[in-house]
């Protein structure tokens, strides 16, 4: 099988640098820099194959980026980006030199922090909805008082109203949390909500000078809502949500 070059991230570096035999694929490939002027891509040799999106492979990809992050500001490259040759990577760095330099400058001294917030007891949340939303409360009472079983339409209508109320409640509680955190971050990106009990799923780009203050805000929010909400807070991590490079060979693009 032909050998290619696996890309992990782009950094500011003009010298050759070796990060050790930690390349993806469990072959012990050396991870090193490939430079153009004062830009470098962190790469390793790899078979020209498509890596499965598995926990093991994602961790291997992220481990290299974390290693680079110890000494550099990084622009993470999307998982499973493989070039056919070193020359292809040099051309990429040359063509997009100014764009990548600007992006690195904008990420300098910043970290990404991730936050997921969950309702702890959905039964209580549904009880709150049932008692605070007048339309739902009266509809439930009407169905309870009725001597006949509720029709399919009545059940669907109630379910729809409960779903809308849950969405509104989620938005309100998420906004309350974001109002506290926004002043201490440079950017915030909200991501897809997964499951009824998730209230918030977002990433924050935070200046390193404010990281401790941001940690304290999260801790205060977690304590304030400990009986109601569960906070899952991770970081610092590479800025995947704010500067991940998506490379399409021949028509290079990023997002």
Domain extents in the chain: 3-108, 112-237
pLDDT at 91 over 70: yes
pLDDT tens digit sequence for 52-66:
999 999 999 999 999
Mean pLDDT across 6-13 = 96
Mean pLDDT across 156-173 = 79
pLDDT at 140 over 90: no
Across 26-40, 123-137, 180-194, least confident range: 123-137
Confidence grade of residue 139 (pLDDT, cut at 50, 70, 90):
low
Query: According to the model, what pLDDT value does residue 144 have?
Result: 55
pLDDT at 111 over 60: yes
Query: According to the model, what pLDDT value does residue 128 have?
Result: 79
CB 32 within 8 A of CB 43: yes
Percent share of the chain, pLDDT over 90: 71
Query: According to the model, what pLDDT value does residue 254 have?
Result: 40
Confidence grade of residue 85 (pLDDT, cut at 50, 70, 90):
very high
Query: According to the model, what pLDDT value does residue 165 have?
Result: 82
pLDDT at 114 over 60: yes
Q: What is the DSSP string of 84-149?
A: S-HHHHHHHHHHTHHHHHHHHHHHTTEEEEEEEEEES-HHHHHHHHHHH-HHHHHHHHHHHH-SSP
Distance in angstroms (rounded) separating the CA atoms of residues 33 and 18: 7
pLDDT tens digit sequence for 169-217:
899 999 999 999 999 999 999 999 999 899 999 999 999 999 999 999 9
Helix axes 152-181, 211-224, angle to 10 degrees: 140
What is the separation of C-alpha 133 from the centre of its chain, rounded to a whole number of angstroms? 33
């Amino acid at each position: 099988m032909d050998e290619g070059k696996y890309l992990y991230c782009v950094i500011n570096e003009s010298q050759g640098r070796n990060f050790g035999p930690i390349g993806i694929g469990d072959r012990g490939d050396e991870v090193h820099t490939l430079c153009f002027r004062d830009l470098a891509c962190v790469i390793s040799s790899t078979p020209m194959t498509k890596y499965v999106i598995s926990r093991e492979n994602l961790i291997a990809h992220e481990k290299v980026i974390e290693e680079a992050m110890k000494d550099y500001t990084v622009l993470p490259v999307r998982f499973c980006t493989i070039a056919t040759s070193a020359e292809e990577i040099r051309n990429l760095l040359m063509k997009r030199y100014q764009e990548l330099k600007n992006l690195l400058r904008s990420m300098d001294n910043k970290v990404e922090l991730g936050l997921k917030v969950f309702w702890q007891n959905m039964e209580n949340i549904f009880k709150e909805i049932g008692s605070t939303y007048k339309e739902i409360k009266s509809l439930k009472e009407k169905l309870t008082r009725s001597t006949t079983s509720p029709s399919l339409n009545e059940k669907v209508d109630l379910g729809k109203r409960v779903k809308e109320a849950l969405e509104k409640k989620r938005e309100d509680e998420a906004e309350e949390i974001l109002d506290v955190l926004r002043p201490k971050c440079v950017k915030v990106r909200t991501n897809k909500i997964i499951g009824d009990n998730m209230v918030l799923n977002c990433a924050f780009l935070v200046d390193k000078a404010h990281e401790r203050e941001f940690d304290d805000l999260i801790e205060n929010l977690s304590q304030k809502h400990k009986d109601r909400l569960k906070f899952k807070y991770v970081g610092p991590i590479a800025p995947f949500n704010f500067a991940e490079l998506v490379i399409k060979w021949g028509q290079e693009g990023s997002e």
